[in-house]
Amino acid sequence: MELFYAAGTDGRFVRLDAEESGHCVKVLRHRAGDEIHVIDGAGTKYTCRLTDDNPRGAEAEVLQAEPGWGSHPYRLTVGCCPTKNNERFEWFVEKATELGVDVIAPLIGERSERKVYKTERAHRIALSATKQSLKAALPDIAEPESVQAFLEAPREGLKLIAYCFEEDEAPRVSIQKALADYPGSEITVLIGPEGDFSPKEARLALANGYLPIHLGASRLRTETAALTAVEAVYLHFISG
């Protein structure tokens, strides 16, 4: 199924931007009268009839709307420190979107090697992955903030942090057990940078109700750990 993206609709018509219009008309050669499928990024898929095949501003009439199309039965926020190699973090954004994530929050920690992160490419990668994986909801790529600011913000639901605590300081449980013991569906997972969270950040997480978890015995790269957490949540809910 070919999917196109249009941010917002009045319920009767959708208008594609120049990039989506060019792909629809020039590349895929759709013409007025053709049926196309459009997502709004907020969770609804529209079956439409193309009424204007302008390659710089195509328009289509809405025939049917399907709210919640391709949705998942949980709400997942992943706070993750971008890696020094930007391609690794972008790989995480792509794969996490394919599985199912609602918010990706780039964080700058005390030990982060990357202190500046621009979100433009991540937005484009997430949109492409959303369409490829047949979803109508586009994950929110938040603007970067400090780990401290993220931890101090009020959050509902289950809050998890992957960190190498000493067992006598804060015993860790597996992410699978943490999910099994939680009856809700609102989840936040925190993944640190290559140098891990600082002890100060870890103590702040505990003070704000974060549960220490581990992701298994293997030592994982930042982006691998973040994706492993997303996959654990995905598998927990779709197999349950």
Task: Please indicate, yes or no, whether residues 20 and 95 belong to a single structural domain of this protein.
Answer: no
Task: Please indicate, yes or no, whether residues 112 and 229 belong to a single structural domain of this protein.
Answer: yes
Task: Please indicate, yes or no, whether residues 92 and 30 belong to a single structural domain of this protein.
Answer: no
Task: Please indicate, yes or no, whether residues 56 and 110 belong to a single structural domain of this protein.
Answer: no
Quote the pTM value. Answer: 0.93
Task: Please indicate, yes or no, whether residues 103 and 120 belong to a single structural domain of this protein.
Answer: yes
Segment (H or E) for 103? strand 103-108
* Pair of tokens at residue 235: 């598998």
Give 17: exposed, middle or buried? Use CB within 10 Å, 0-12, 13-18, 19+.
middle
User: How much of the chain exceeds pLDDT 90, in percent?
Assistant: 88
Domain span holding position 10:
3-67
Report the distance separating Cα 6 and Cα 57, nearest Å: 11
Q: What is the pLDDT of residues 151-202, one digit of tens each?
A: 999 999 999 999 876 655 678 899 999 999 999 999 999 999 988 999 999 9
> Amino acid identity, residue 111?
R
Task: Please indicate, yes or no, whether residues 97 and 209 belong to a single structural domain of this protein.
Answer: yes
Q: Which of 15, 32, 67 is the last residue of a domain?
A: 67
Task: Please indicate, yes or no, whether residues 228 and 185 belong to a single structural domain of this protein.
Answer: yes
Task: Please indicate, yes or no, whether residues 130 and 168 belong to a single structural domain of this protein.
Answer: yes
- Strands 59-67, 44-52: pairing is antiparallel
